Amino acid sequence: MWMQKVYRNEIYFDNAATSRYKPQSVIKAMVAQMRASANPGRGGHRSAIEAGMTVESARSVIESHLGAGAVVWTKNCTEALNQAIFGLNPDGTVIISTFEHNSVYRPLVRLEQQKRIKLKILEGENGLITPDALNAAIDGDTALIVLCEVGNVIGTRQPVAELSRVAAANGIPMIVDTAQSLGYGLASDYGSVDFVCCSGHKGLHGPQGTGFLWINGNRHTLRPLIYGGTGRDSHSPVQSPEAPEGLESGTLNTPGIAGLAAGAEWSFANLGQNARHIAMLIDFLAEELKKIPGVKLIGRGESVLSFNLGDLGSTETGDRLNEAGISVRAGLHCAPLAHRYLGTLKQGTVRIGAGVENTLKECELLIAAVRRIAASTAI
């Protein structure tokens, strides 16, 4: 392996919630910023200027992968999605898929409760939305499209490039949630996507508490989600919405941003190698789980897999795996629409999120633990 494990007494398969492995470059970048702590954009002295340069350099790392645009720093993907959704303030119908995370669904439900939008939820096979289906769903009242590129339950990958071109052809802005895709596989074409939202602590292998909103070409003006000091136009009582600074009120998490940039650089440089390794693990797990009596494979993607053991509650299965020293995610994964579609709303699923430092030996130990649970349970 090309990295060294840190926690040797735990087999960690919850990387879809937070990737365990953090490159040394991430830790080094964060420590350097903490030792030379200063506030970017809040002074003209050398340390403040250098902190500002760190922040701007980190924006360039993201732009080098996504393209030219405004990179707005957030504390996670949820905040980025909220900033994009509420910042656009849509008026009309908003189209989403049935596999959206609550970070998309709940903000839109809030707007629907306020009678400001109508939700249109598209269902396709395993949540997949085709360009033709999206085009057929768009009408004169459509104001916005919000889609996750990769679902967090069974890993369905949407054809974002094609879907975004359909949206653009109809003049409809599109927000893409890349929390489960960016850094996990080969790069997508976001050229026609208006907004990309991402967390720093998953596929980009950065620290928790970091994320960003990328505004393609800075061609949209958003209403700020938070108001306050931005380090610019301090004489004015009215906050400018100009991105990125106008959407970044308050002191930024400079150590976190430095760590996110370092993690993103590492992830982008190792995309192919990481994707092949994780896919190999998921392939192995899927084939071995199918051999265990009582196991129902709900679905799998490039980096996640969901299963259940008969009628056993997913949380009980997860608890018993935890007792065996194996960490997985059980429950609804903050995606009730997906579980309603899959028929697992009551039971939930056990989700395996493979990561770059997981090994085939760990997969074998996971399979052995599931076999023991199945053998000791009346399924």
Question: What tens digit of pLDDT does each residue of 190-200 get?
Answer: 999 999 999 99
Q: Mind listing the pLDDT tens digit for each residue in 132-157?
A: 999 999 999 999 999 999 999 999 99
The dihedrals phi and psi of 174, each to the nearest 5 degrees, come to -130, 130
Average pLDDT over residues 305-312: 97
Report the helix count and the strand count for the chain, using DSSP H and E.
11, 13
Query: Can you give the pLDDT at residue 1?
Result: 43
Q: Mind listing the pLDDT tens digit for each residue in 165-199?
A: 999 999 999 999 999 999 997 778 999 999 999 99
Q: Is a pLDDT exceeding 90 seen at residue 335?
A: yes
Domain ranges of the chain: 11-22+270-375, 24-269
Rounded to whole angstroms, how far apart are CA atoms 69 and 192? 12
- Helix-, strand-, coil-residue percentages of the chain, each rounded to 5: 40, 20, 45
Q: Is a pLDDT exceeding 90 seen at residue 83?
A: yes
Quick count: other Cβ atoms within 10 Å of Cβ 49? 14
Please provide the average confidence, as pLDDT, over all residues in the chain: 95
Q: What's the topology of domain 24-269?
A: Aspartate Aminotransferase; domain 2 (3.40.640)
Task: Report the alpha-carbon angle 312-313-316, nearest 5.
Answer: 95
H helix or E strand, kind and range, residue 319: helix 314-323
Q: Mind listing the pLDDT tens digit for each residue in 200-219?
A: 999 999 999 999 999 999 78
Query: Can you give the pLDDT at residue 7?
Result: 52
Query: Can you give the pLDDT at residue 379?
Result: 63
Q: What is the CATH number of domain 11-22+270-375?
A: 3.90.1150.10
Q: Mind listing the pLDDT tens digit for each residue in 227-261?
A: 998 877 788 888 888 889 999 999 999 999 999 99
pLDDT class for 112, splitting at 50, 70, 90? very high
Q: How far apart, in Å, are the Cα atoms of 33 and each of 61, 216, 272?
A: 17, 28, 30
Query: Can you give the pLDDT at residue 3?
Result: 47
Q: Is a pLDDT exceeding 50 seen at residue 276?
A: yes
CB 54 within 8 A of CB 33: yes
The dihedrals phi and psi of 295, each to the nearest 5 degrees, come to -80, 130
CB 234 within 8 A of CB 41: no
